[in-house]
Chains A and B, each alone.
Chain A
Amino acid sequence: MDFNIALLVSAHVAFFIMLGSFAVYSRRVYSVRDRVSSSTFRALVFFGLTSFFLGLIILVAAYTDSLTAQRYWILFFMMALINSLVHIATEQKRIHYVSYAITIILIIAQIIVTTLIPSEASPILVTFLAVTMVLVIIGSIWTFSSSPGPFAGGLLIFETTFLIFWYLATSGILYTNVQSFLFVFLPVVMATALLGSLLRPPRTIITLFIGVYSLVVTSGLAFASILSNEYTITIYVLVANIPVFASILSIDFFAEQMSTTHATVPTYITVTLVTISLTIIFTCVDWAFAIQEMITLEPLSWFEVILGVIAASAFIMSGVATLTQKGHRYIRRLLLANIAVFSLLGNDFIRNGRWDFDLLGIIIFAEVSVGLLAYGRTALRLRRLGAKKAARNFVAFNIASILLGLVILISFYLPLVVIVSIMILGAGALVLSSPRRFRYSRSSQNR
Chain B
Amino acid sequence: MDYFLALQISMIVSSIIMAISLGIFVQSLRRTSHRLSSATKRALVLFGLAAVVYQLSISLSVVNLMLSRVLFSFGPLLLDLSLFEIIFESRATRLKAIATFLAFYFVSLVLIALDPTGPFKYFSMVIIVGTLFLLIIRLHMVSPSPFTYSSFGIAVTTVPLYFTVMYGFILAEPHFFPSAMLGLAFIAAILASMLKPWRMIPSLFLIYFGTILAIPIIIAAVISGDAGIYIFVFFAYMVSLALVLPFEYFVAEAVHTHTRTPLYIAVTLFSIGLLVETHWTNWAYSYNTSPAVGLPWNSILFMNIHGTWDQTMIFFDWILGFIAVSVFMLAALSTTYSERVTEPVTDVLILIGVPLALLMNPWINAGRYDSSVLYLPMIILILIAAAAYTRLAWRLVKMGHGKVALRFVIFIVGTISAGLVSMFSDRMPFIMDPVLQTIAIVMLMFSAPGNPVRRFIRILRGTDLDQTEAV
Residues of A within 8 A of B (CB): 329, 332-333, 336-337, 339-341, 343-345, 350, 352, 354
Contact = CB atoms under 8 A, between A and B. Distances in A.
Contacts of B399: none
Contacts of A333: 346-347, 350
A343 B350 contact: no
A348 to B, nearest CB: 12
Given A350-B364, A352-B366, A352-B368, A340 B354 contact: yes
Contacts of B366: 352, 354
A332 B364 contact: no
Given A350-B364, A352-B366, A340 B346 contact: no
Interface in B338-360: 343, 346-347, 350-352, 354-355, 358-359
Interface of B: 343, 346-347, 350-352, 354-355, 358-359, 364, 366, 368
A333 B346 CA distance: 9
Contacts of B368: 352
B350 A344 contact: no
Contacts of A336: 347, 350-351
Contacts of B354: 337, 340-341, 344
Contacts of A332: 347
Contacts of B355: 340-341, 343-344
A336 B343 CA distance: 13
A133 to B, nearest CB: 24
Contacts of A329: 343
12 contacts: A333-B346, A333-B347, A336-B347, A336-B350, A337-B350, A337-B354, A340-B352, A341-B358, A344-B355, A344-B364, A350-B359, A352-B368
Contacts of B350: 333, 336-337, 340
A353 to B, nearest CB: 11
A44 B394 CA distance: 46
Contacts of A345: 358
Given A340-B350, A340-B355, 16 more contacts: A333-B346, A333-B347, A336-B347, A336-B350, A336-B351, A337-B350, A337-B354, A339-B351, A340-B354, A341-B354, A343-B355, A344-B354, A344-B355, A344-B359, A345-B358, A352-B368
A313 to B, nearest CB: 12
Contact of B358 (A339, A344, A352, A354): A344
A340 B359 contact: no
Contacts of B351: 336, 339-340
A87 to B, nearest CB: 31
Looking at A329, A336, A339, A343, which has the most chain B CB atoms within 10 Å of its CB?
A336
Contacts of A344: 354-355, 358-359, 364
Nearest to B354: A340
Looking at B346, B351, B359, which has the most chain A CB atoms within 10 Å of its CB?
B351
B373 to A, nearest CB: 14
Nearest to A347: B355
A350 B359 CA distance: 9
Contacts of A343: 355
Nearest to B358: A344
B369 to A, nearest CB: 9
A352 B359 CA distance: 13
A141 to B, nearest CB: 16
Contacts of A354: 366
Nearest to B363: A354
Nearest to B352: A340
B149 to A, nearest CB: 15
Contacts of A341: 354-355, 358
Those 9 A-B pairs whose CB atoms lie nearest each other, nearest first: A340-B354, A344-B355, A337-B354, A336-B350, A340-B355, A340-B351, A337-B350, A344-B358, A336-B351
A210 B351 CA distance: 26
A354 B364 CA distance: 10
A343 B364 CA distance: 13
Contacts of A340: 350-352, 354-355
Nearest to A329: B343
Contacts of A339: 351
Nearest to A337: B354
Contacts of A350: 359, 364
Contacts of B358: 341, 344-345
A341 B357 CA distance: 10
A352 B365 CA distance: 10
A332 B347 CA distance: 9
B315 to A, nearest CB: 14
Nearest to A350: B364
Nearest to A351: B364
Nearest to B365: A350
A343 B350 CA distance: 13
A210 B346 CA distance: 31
A340 B366 CA distance: 20
A359 B263 CA distance: 38
A340 to B, nearest CB: 4
Contacts of B352: 340
B130 to A, nearest CB: 20
A344 B368 CA distance: 15
A48 B332 CA distance: 45
Contacts of B343: 329
Looking at B359, B364, B368, which has the most chain A CB atoms within 10 Å of its CB?
B364
Contacts of B364: 344, 350
A354 B363 CA distance: 11
A355 to B, nearest CB: 11
Contacts of B347: 332-333, 336
B126 to A, nearest CB: 20
A224 B328 CA distance: 56
A157 to B, nearest CB: 18
A206 B350 CA distance: 27
Nearest to A336: B350
A332 B355 CA distance: 17
A343 B355 CA distance: 8
B366 to A, nearest CB: 7
A344 B374 CA distance: 15
A354 B368 CA distance: 14
A442 B352 CA distance: 43
B174 to A, nearest CB: 30
A253 B346 CA distance: 31
A345 B357 CA distance: 12
B80 to A, nearest CB: 28
Nearest to A334: B350
A329 B351 CA distance: 15
A336 B359 CA distance: 17
A443 to B, nearest CB: 32
Looking at A329, A344, A354, which has the most chain B CB atoms within 10 Å of its CB?
A344
A340 B349 CA distance: 11
Nearest to A332: B347
B361 to A, nearest CB: 10
A280 to B, nearest CB: 25
Nearest to B369: A349
A352 B355 CA distance: 16
A343 B358 CA distance: 11
A344 B358 CA distance: 8
A341 B350 CA distance: 10
A81 to B, nearest CB: 28
A344 B355 CA distance: 6
B327 to A, nearest CB: 14
A339 B358 CA distance: 13
B137 to A, nearest CB: 15
A340 B347 CA distance: 11
B355 to A, nearest CB: 5
A17 B347 CA distance: 38
A339 B350 CA distance: 10
A333 B348 CA distance: 10
Contacts of A337: 350, 354
B120 to A, nearest CB: 26
Contacts of B359: 344, 350
Nearest to B346: A333
Nearest to A340: B354
A336 B353 CA distance: 11
